[in-house]
Amino acid sequence: QKQRSDVDVELEDGVGDREYLQKVAQVLPRLLHEHKPDILLYDAGVDVHLDDRLGNLSLSDQGLFDRDLYVMRCCLAMGVPVATVIGGGYDADHSMVHWRHSIVLQAAVAANRWRQGS
C-alpha cells in the first residue's frame, strides 16, 4: 500500500504526457508559492515511463523531458534553486534506463539556456 505524504496527487493508471504535465502545473507553482523553499530537491523518477515494467503511468521520453523542464523553469522563475537526483527505472534493457535518466540533464541544459535568454 502506498504511504501517505504531505501532498498526494491522485493519478489514474495509464496517464500520459499531457494529463501528467497538467497535474504538475496545477500543483507545483502553488506549493512553491506557499512554502517558499530555499532549494528544491527534485527526484526525477523515470518509473512513470510507458515502458517501465513497475510503473503504472505512460509518459514518453518527450513527456519526461517536458516534465523536467517545466519543474526547473518554474523553480528558476520563482528564484528557487534546484538540486536533482535520478530515480526509478525498471526495464530489462538497462541502456534505456540510462537514457531516461539522462533526460533530466538535457532538461537542465535547456532550462539554463532559457534562464540566460538564449
* Contact (CB, 8 A) for 74 and 29: yes
Helix (H, G, I), strand (E, B) or coil at 106: helix
Q: Among residues of the chain, what percentage have pLDDT more than 70?
A: 99
Mean pLDDT across 99-117: 96
Strands, E, within the chain: which ranges? Answer: 40-45, 82-87
Given this model, what pLDDT does residue 4 score?
Answer: 81
Which residue is it, cell 517501465? 52
- Specify the pTM: 0.93
Most distant CA pair in the chain: distance in Å?
Answer: 45
- Tens digit of pLDDT for each residue in 52-88? 999 999 999 999 999 999 999 999 999 999 999 999 9
Q: Find the DSSP H helices in 36-93.
A: 61-77
| 118 pLDDT higher than 70 | no
